[in-house]
Structure 1
């Protein structure tokens, strides 16, 4: 029941999470199609994906101003911009046109992401409940369903532009809900300090960045790993990112219940170990079925790291600093989308996708040291009388 009540409480920003998940799920399942149409190797394709990363990081700094100026209209306008942005890469026939199109996608995604997470954070502050996991679970559910459906449309030979057009129709259907989001509440309390404690926010950003980097690599490269390394077909390849989305949905909805019973640091530590184990299985898989198991375990593990890292950042600071802290964590975390394409593209080109996914497993273990430091900070704060 806590999951359903959380979704009802955040139905407006939750609709934006659905829109975001649908578009990126379609893209993930069509990565082999984009790569083949452009006629580039893995390293070049990874470089082309930097376009979205650059656009994303650019708007991370502009999104708060966008939010302040548009207020209640910020969320529906951001979703509309996202729908329009995907048209360019869907039509692109050359590497340059694709890269430019992905810059626009990154900018629209960055604006939408900051606004929808800020809205959830605002409702959390008003309700006193942890709501991040449920909303990120909606993203994963939409992502997995879109990736799975895209595998079927690929088998049927449906053009990419038609599939993205279908996502635009869904966005229009959800638009009335997006207009119900609360208005921006960016101003701090009068007389309150606006100085954030630097190192806890930075550590939370590193934790979320590693989680997002791992998620982005599996989203964008799992289909290619199954099809090229393991000899799977188009539908089999699409099942890789679809399984990731489905298991991340289950993990995040389960994490919504865990967030009300266990500490964030305890859950993140276990999740890091589980996801690293799953990535290692996917890297060593001899057949697609074993790779599916690895991607499923990876999805369960990393599903809760990002949302709980964002929630943890809010607990590390004073209540009036919560939105500001989450915004700073987002800036650090979305560096993952700048690193992931180059990391996976380069490692895949030189060493193959097996070693690339092995590197993801090692990276996930690097979450443990900053989480231990954050646990000490959380205990110290709990020991201070109110």
Structure 2
């Protein structure tokens, strides 16, 4: 091993470590936020439609930043600094939200939280993609596994605090402090390692190649799958606890633990995701996940047993776990020299589903019932499986032309 190689290996390990810490911080924040929504709705007196508006504020803030922040990564202040800023603001807003009783002011705070999360999400995923290119290994599922572990930790934290009589201030306050602490820890790891990676701006410029017509068609299909997958995943994350409480009559702590089961299954699925992908391929993995998730949500809709509902949630979490990592990885392969542009399109379409979906499901629940919203989630999973059939055919035709 040469001196350069020996130096590069610990730098890459430290780069993966500090990127993982940011994924953990983001996951913990989202897990705590989703699990605290029943407390937020009860504390401010929000109905399902009004809660949907709050979630829409989060979505709008995040999407606006996701669309625009990518052009500044490494060109202006770098993805590490953006990850740090996004994490710190995300955690700080959590400390403020419990003290806001005015719905309009609450919407503004949630808009800012969404903008901070959008900044963090784009920056940390850009860095994860860069690490994949540097190492030549499939690592996206493992990064997203850490995000899911963070979801689990956030939900468990809220469940424990509620179980001991904690209110919204305790739940979001503790989560906010942890998010900010993890962000600082990640930055210290990066600073100590003095990680010298190629600038993302240079790499993106080198790959600034137009997508041809067949590539664009495939990217749209992948983006459609990403939109549906993240819409359904976001719906399960944000509305599972409320479904358990309002429809099945579970306690608030049980609702938080139900979300934790879903998040734990996602984490487990992503930990084995790279190995499974090597055996069956991205498209088959997504298709199987669509059928498994549709079946599990259907079971959740017809059961009145708490035990069966937890099993269904675990099955759904395992099925949805690797959809998004597989779609992002496929977009990179389809894009080729224009991989950056391809991933950008798919990411924007996908996260639009994640951030707008829960709000739309809230409006639908207010107009009809939460059961109808979960029926829509079931249909989204079935549509994913259907779209992958056309996607598989298009990929085969493109491969045959080469």
Q: Is the 8 A contact 1:226 1:232 kept in 2?
A: yes
Deviation at 1:82, TM superposition (A): 2.3
Q: What's 2:114 paired with?
A: 106
Superposition map of 1:35-46 within 5 A: 35-46=41-52
1:218 aligns with 2:236: yes
CA distance 1:49–1:111, shift in 2 (3 Å): same
Q: TM-score, normalised by structure 1?
A: 0.91
Q: Is the 8 A contact 1:75 1:178 kept in 2?
A: no
Deviations 1:65-91 (A, max 9, x none): 331211243332332232233333233
Moved more, 172-181 or 147-156: 172-181
1:160 aligns with 2:177: no
1:69 aligns with 2:85: no
Q: What's 2:181 paired with?
A: 169
1:186 aligns with 2:192: no
Moved more, 286-295 or 17-26: 286-295
Q: What's 2:351 paired with?
A: 334
Deviation at 1:226, TM superposition (A): 1.1
CA distance 1:50–1:227, shift in 2 (3 Å): same
CA distance 1:191–1:46, shift in 2 (3 Å): closer
Q: What's 1:141 paired with?
A: 149
CA distance 1:183–1:86, shift in 2 (3 Å): farther
Q: What's 1:3 paired with?
A: none
Distance in 1 between residues matched to 2:200 and 2:114, nearest whole Å: 24
Structure 1: unaligned runs, 5 residues or longer: 1-5
Distance in 2 between residues matched to 1:344 and 1:195, nearest whole Å: 34
Distance in 2 between residues matched to 1:96 and 1:61, nearest whole Å: 25
Deviation at 1:270, TM superposition (A): 0.3
Q: Is the 8 A contact 2:18 2:190 kept in 1?
A: yes
Q: Is the 8 A contact 1:42 1:345 kept in 2?
A: yes
CA distance 1:78–1:350, shift in 2 (3 Å): closer
CA distance 1:372–1:191, shift in 2 (3 Å): closer
CA distance 1:192–1:151, shift in 2 (3 Å): closer
Deviation at 1:352, TM superposition (A): 2.2
Q: Is the 8 A contact 1:15 1:177 kept in 2?
A: no
CA distance 1:139–1:338, shift in 2 (3 Å): closer
- Greater fraction helix: 2
Distance in 1 between residues matched to 2:83 and 2:189, nearest whole Å: 10
CA distance 1:375–1:178, shift in 2 (3 Å): farther
2:249 counterpart SS class? coil
CA distance 1:160–1:103, shift in 2 (3 Å): same
Q: What's 1:290 paired with?
A: 308
CA distance 1:281–1:55, shift in 2 (3 Å): same
Q: Pick one of 6, 26, 34 that aligns with 1:28.
A: 34
1:18 aligns with 2:24: yes
Distance in 1 between residues matched to 2:33 and 2:358, nearest whole Å: 14
Q: What's 2:3 paired with?
A: none
CA distance 1:184–1:77, shift in 2 (3 Å): farther
1:127 aligns with 2:145: no
Number of residue pairs matched by the alignment: 379
1:245 aligns with 2:263: yes
Distance in 2 between residues matched to 1:7 and 1:30, nearest whole Å: 34
Q: TM-score, normalised by structure 2?
A: 0.88
CA distance 1:65–1:85, shift in 2 (3 Å): farther
Distance in 1 between residues matched to 2:19 and 2:395, nearest whole Å: 28
Superposition map of 1:292-311 within 5 A: 292-311=310-329
2:288 counterpart SS class? helix
1:198 aligns with 2:216: yes
Superposition map of 1:41-52 within 5 A: 41-52=47-58
Q: What's 1:371 paired with?
A: 388
Distance in 2 between residues matched to 1:172 and 1:192, nearest whole Å: 33
Distance in 2 between residues matched to 1:185 and 1:49, nearest whole Å: 32
Distance in 1 between residues matched to 2:199 and 2:105, nearest whole Å: 35
CA distance 1:333–1:190, shift in 2 (3 Å): closer
Q: What's 2:4 paired with?
A: none
Moved more, 65-74 or 219-228: 65-74
Distance in 2 between residues matched to 1:37 and 1:95, nearest whole Å: 11
